[in-house]
Amino acid sequence: MAGLPASALTLKIPVPDLLALPAGASYHGKNGQAGVDVTSRGDTLVVTSTCDSLQRLLLWYEEELTRIRGDTVSVSEVSETEFKQRFNPVKIALIAFIAGMASGIVLTVLIKRRLYEK
């Protein structure tokens, strides 16, 4: 994903307005993806800031991770299918048995011929 553009926000609130802020009221500001919320709770000033670009970046990474996991699962399924199709242990054992029997018969015939020729 291309780099996300930077967003900055400056919220200028005069101190007298801040002190006169009634309970439950707040100042809001938003610029691009940056946002700020200033609230007064009793004698405490609460400032909350947000940045939508981080949320967008998180969503992009989650989608990318899901896509990569899907690709990995499909590749592993293809690999398992190819492995199953290539190697059948019964077939290999049968071929080895037949090859062993054939070579045993040929060797027996050759050895008997040499022994009886002398």
Tens digit of pLDDT per residue, the chain (118 long)? 555 666 777 888 888 888 788 877 888 888 877 888 888 887 788 888 887 777 778 888 999 998 888 888 777 776 666 666 667 788 889 999 999 999 999 999 999 998 888 6
Residue 39's contacts (CB-CB under 8 Å, 6 or more residues apart) are 21, 24, 25, 26, 27, 45, 46, 47, 48
Q: ∠ CA 51-13-26 to the nearest 5 degrees?
A: 65
- Cα–Cα distance list, 69 to 58, 61, 65, 107 (Å): 16, 12, 6, 55
**Nearest C-alpha neighbor of 20 from the set 48, 37, 38, 40:** 40
Beta bridge partner(s), residue 41 = 44
Domain boundaries, the chain: 1-68, 85-118
Please give the pLDDT value at position 18.
80
pTM over 0.95: no
